[in-house]
Amino acid sequence: MGTSSNQTKPEYHVKEARNGSSIPVINGVHLHSSYDPQREAEAFVEKNISTLEKHRHILLLGLGFAYHLEKILEALSENHGNNFKVVVIEPNGHLLEEAKERGKLPSSKNVVYYTTADITKLYSQKELIEFLVGHPGILMHPASFNLNRAFFESFLSWNAKNTIEEARELPLNEEVQSFLAHYQDYVQFSELSEEVRTSSEISDLGHLFMGIQNMKQSSFNEQTENEV
Partner 1 sequence: MKSSLIINLKRVGDILSTSLLASKLKTESSDSHVTMLVYQEFEQTARLLPDVDEVITIDRKKLETFSKSNLFSDFYALNYLYETLSPLTQKRWDNAVNISNDLLSTRIISFLADEVEIISGISYGKDQSIKASSDWAIVYNDILPGRLNAPVHFQDVYQGMTTGETSLYEPTALKTKSKYDNQTATNFAKIREAYGNDESIRLIGIQAKTSTKSKDIPFGTLVQFIQLLKSQDKPWIPIILSAPTEKDREFIHRLNYKFDNKLISVESDMQALPSIVRNLDALVTPDTAIKHVADSMRVPTLEVSLGNSPLFKQGTINPESIILTHRIDLRERKPERDRHLLMPEDLMQSLHYLLEDHYRPHIEGGFTLYQPAYDKLGLRYVSVFGDIKPEVEAQRAIERSYLGKYLINDAQTDTLFPSFQRLKSEELQSWIEQEKAFITDASKALLRTLRALGKAKDPGSSPEYIIKSLDQLMSFSESGHVGALPLKVFRFKVENFFGKTQEENLQFFESHLFELKAETQSLISIVNDFENIVSKGRISRSRNKETARDVNNISTIEQ
Closest CA to 93 of 208, 180, 8: 8
Q: Is 11 in the site for partner 1 (CB under 8 A)?
A: no
Binds partner 1 (CB under 8 A): choice among 27, 50, 107, 224: 224
Nearer CB in complex with partner 1: 122/147:
122
**Shortest distance, CB of residue 87 to partner 1, whole angstroms?**
14
Q: Is 209 in the site for partner 1 (CB under 8 A)?
A: yes
For partner 1, how many residues bind (rule: CB under 8 A)? Answer: 45
Residue type, 226: N
The dihedral over CA atoms of 41, 46, 51, 52, expressed in degrees to the nearest 10, equals 70
Tell me the three-class secondary structure of 111-138, residue by residue: EEEECCCCHHHHCCCHHHHHHHHCCCEE
**Shortest distance, CB of residue 93 to partner 1, whole angstroms?**
23
**Shortest distance, CB of residue 194 to partner 1, whole angstroms?**
13
Q: Which stretch binds partner 1 (CB under 8 A): 5-13, 21-29, 70-78, 209-217?
A: 209-217
Q: 173 to each of 133, 138, 177, how far by Cα in Å?
A: 18, 29, 6
Quote the distance between the C-alpha of residue 93 and its chain's center: 15
The Cα 149–Cα 97 span in angstroms is 21
Helix (H) or strand (E) holding 179, with range, is: helix 174-180
Binding-site string for partner 1 from residue 107 to residue 136, where x marks contact by CB under 8 A and - marks none: ----------------x-----x--xxxx-
**Shortest distance, CB of residue 218 to partner 1, whole angstroms?**
8
Angle between helix axes 37-47 and 67-80 (nearest 10 degrees) is 40
Nearer CB in complex with partner 1: 46/171:
171
Nearer CB in complex with partner 1: 184/199:
199
**Shortest distance, CB of residue 62 to partner 1, whole angstroms?**
19
Residues comprising the chain, all counted: 228
Instruction: Write out the binding residues for partner 1, residues 146-205 only, by CB under 8 A.
Output: 157-162, 166-167, 170, 172-173, 175-176, 180, 189, 197, 199-202, 204-205
Q: Are 21 and 7 in contact (CB under 8 A)?
A: no
Footprint on this chain of partner 1 (rule: CB under 8 A)? 123, 129, 132-135, 157-162, 166-167, 170, 172-173, 175-176, 180, 189, 197, 199-202, 204-205, 207-212, 214-216, 218, 220, 223-228
